[in-house]
Structure 1
Amino acid sequence: MTRAFSGRIVTPDAVVPGHLDLDGDTIAAIVPDDGVGDDVLVPGFVDLHCHGGGGHTFTTGDVDAACGAAAFHLGHGTTTLLASLVSSPFELMLSAVSGFRPLVEAGVLAGIHFEGPYLSHARCGAQNPDFLRDPVMAEISELIEAGAGTVRMMTVAPELPGALEAIAYLNGHGVLAAIGHTDATYDQTHAGVAAGASVATHLFNGMRPPHHREPGPVVGLLSSTVACELIADNIHLHPGMLAFAAGSAGPDRSVLITDAIDATGMADGRYELGGQEVVVADRVARLAVNGSIAGSTLTMDVALRNAVAAGLPLVGAARMASTTPARLLGLSDRLGALAPGLRADAVALSPDLSLRRVLHAGTWL
């Protein structure tokens, strides 16, 4: 038995002053004790939507780059993450599945998220319009079969021809169907949820804005049962809008994500995303061609801190950053919370929630 941490331990229900005891790579016990310090321990972060970081990208399907991006985010507390690709030719998508499958089997990645290419031209944002297309069932089935569990999420615009069939197929094959980059009406959004969609890809961003006579996808998703991704970088969402959305959906339906690109943790400059040039200035990434926001330079430790600064309770914010996304991935029996019997993934933070160090599978990095 090893005593790994003393301080304020954030469980799914409360902040417990005490000690975290480990048995190898597993949490053995949380022992209450009022005589501990003010450092904070939260569960290791689970990021459902990440394109890269530290100068490395997932979007090209390159294995070495994927390892570099995963290592960078692990250093910022993300102990579980999906490798997100952007809209791409099918050949690249299939190559990424083949290349990343061993990384998933080794536990470096939790799987792949395909953000596209079955998205709306009208709401493509930073997605490359040259690669957008209506859902192709033969492509989707081949990707899932080739991955053997590697493909974990796919974002689809529900208003496209064949989209509802695609969503139902994804749901039936254990893949999270997400609604995003969509110009759908309120009713079309609810049709996508009824077909099996369970996630909203970066709520508000890449979506028709709400209107009081046509609520559109934002209100449609908030009023449904899906989990809503939220980019807490204070750029994609105003802190007040973040607090509103998280308060509306609750911590069990709200998910903090980074949407990070390779420029995360790097100097300002010129980068590339899905075949398009991206310019990063003062931590904001935009397409050179039209100024559209192109992902983020966010890490999950900063996302948690921003969520709390926006007024969200620490316990709820930790659930949004770890527990809820772990449940969506079907991993809540193994990770995503600080509780006896789960894998010892944790992030130690200072009293102001700045990163101190990361615990991964019982070992401090």
Structure 2
Amino acid sequence: MKITNIRIITPYKDFLGTIEIERGIIRRVIEGKEEGEDMKGLIAVPGLIDIHTHGIGGYDFTSWNSEEEFLNNLTKMKEEYIKHGVTTFLPTTVTLPKEVLLEACKAVGKVQDDSIPGMHLEGPFISEKYAGAQDIRYIRAPDLSEVKQCMELSRNKVKTITLAPEKGLEFIDSLVALGIHVSIGHTDADYEIASRAFLLGADRTTHIFNAMRPLHHRDPGVILATINFSPFVEVIPDFIHVDKELIKFLIKVVGEDRLVSVTDSIMAAGLGDGEYSLGKMSITVKGGRALTKFGKLAGSTLTMDKAFVNLASLAGLQAAVKMTSYNPARAIGLSDRGVIMPGKRADLVLLDEKLRIVKVFVKGEEVEVSKY
């Protein structure tokens, strides 16, 4: 298959060209028009990648009663993500009782779909003070044996664990040795502890500014340590969790090569206002804001295509591609996707001039995208 006469956005260049696909892989990317399916007026970007999401379209990763229901929910979730241009995602847990977390890991181990390459455990080894919408009853001390059980049951699909480093800096080395990406978050860490965490191998920060010790001129804390040392930095670009002017500041200071757009979405994403849940917690969505009964933000209703549009409005298309595809792939070690270039998976999203999704390809196969 060959698509041509299309504007191609890569982290390196923005040009009119041709993409040739063979057996699910991009074989050629060249400038200029050739024989093929003419895509005049459309824009090609890599499939979007969400490495921190709890749910979408009425489905929640941690609300199910059987393994069969879980697998069915995941299939439905994938369909919803694709509508929004997401071709790879990491289902993300919240802090749960140990037995429920192990069940979730076991269920992920049954998934045979490389669009779902693993999972993200957001907890349970986090700070009670900065738990956010998570249930503090299930927060616990770092436990390597529990993590090893999670890895075994998931068939080594635990890609990321969000950790409060003040709970135990020595734990970071053990997680890294297991091949897990450690993301610092839901934390009361001061600057020294957070800095040491990154130097010990933590390579990401979970949704910067949210659920962490705030920045103060006499107490720079985890936020300045993140800006100085974190290889990758998650941000939720819904302009609710973080003001758009501050996101512009992050793009300037942290740089578009380190920022990772995530949605932190809950089951309400893609739906309207109403009553929903996150794990075992009741959530009310009003005006697009997801809130607990105490008024705390509880995940988001953001979808990744909207995140892309928001970031493009601040920094342009190439920067948006980096933050929604290229950087998320690198942040979890997926070297086969996230960029339009030869040898990569043919996961593509075609947009119109207003950045609305027109077509989605997963491994070179067009997927039906219904209007929503």
- Quickly name the TM-score band, shorter chain normalised: over 0.9
Q: CA deviation at 1:108?
A: 4.3
Normalising by structure 1, what TM-score? Answer: 0.94
Q: CA deviation at 1:34?
A: 7.3
| Alignment-derived partner of residue 361 in structure 1 | 363
Residues 92 and 120 from structure 1, CA distance in 2 versus in 1: closer, same or farther, beyond 3 angstroms? same
Instruction: Give the counterpart of 1:272 among 251, 267, 277.
Output: 277
Normalising by structure 2, what TM-score? Answer: 0.93
Q: CA deviation at 1:348?
A: 0.8
| Alignment-derived partner of residue 329 in structure 1 | 332
- What RMSD, in angstroms, separates the aligned Cα atoms of the two structures? 1.6
Deviations 1:148-176 (A, max 9, x none): 3211100000111xx22222111111111
After superposing the two structures, state which structure 1 stretch, 293-302 or 141-150, moved more: 141-150
Deviations 1:123-143 (A, max 9, x none): 111111111122122211221
Unaligned segments of structure 2, at least 5 residues: 65-69, 368-372
Residues 24 and 6 from structure 1, CA distance in 2 versus in 1: closer, same or farther, beyond 3 angstroms? farther
Write out aligned runs for 1:1-365 (5 A). 2-33=1-32, 37-60=40-63, 62-103=70-111, 105-160=112-167, 163-288=168-293, 290-309=294-313, 311-332=314-335, 334-365=336-367
After superposing the two structures, state which structure 1 stretch, 32-41 or 11-20, moved more: 32-41
Q: Contact between 2:18 and 2:33, CA under 8 Å: does it hold in 1?
A: no
Q: CA deviation at 1:354?
A: 1.7
Deviations 1:17-76 (A, max 9, x none): 112221131112123127973321110011110101011111236222222212211221
Amino acid at match of 2:124: P
After superposing the two structures, state which structure 1 stretch, 32-41 or 311-320, moved more: 32-41
Amino acid at match of 2:32: D
Q: CA deviation at 1:179?
A: 0.3
Deviations 1:193-225 (A, max 9, x none): 122110100011111110111101111111103
Q: CA deviation at 1:244?
A: 1.2
Q: How far apart are the structure 2 equivalents of 1:181 and 1:301?
A: 26
Residues 60 and 16 from structure 1, CA distance in 2 versus in 1: closer, same or farther, beyond 3 angstroms? same
Aligned pair count?
358
Q: How far apart are the structure 1 equivalents of 2:346 and 2:115?
A: 16
Q: CA deviation at 1:339?
A: 0.3
Unaligned segments of structure 1, at least 5 residues: none
Q: CA deviation at 1:299?
A: 1.1
Give % identity: 35
Q: How far apart are the structure 1 equivalents of 2:102 and 2:32?
A: 52
After superposing the two structures, state which structure 1 stretch, 129-138 or 151-160, moved more: 129-138
Q: How far apart are the structure 1 equivalents of 2:285 and 2:186?
A: 22
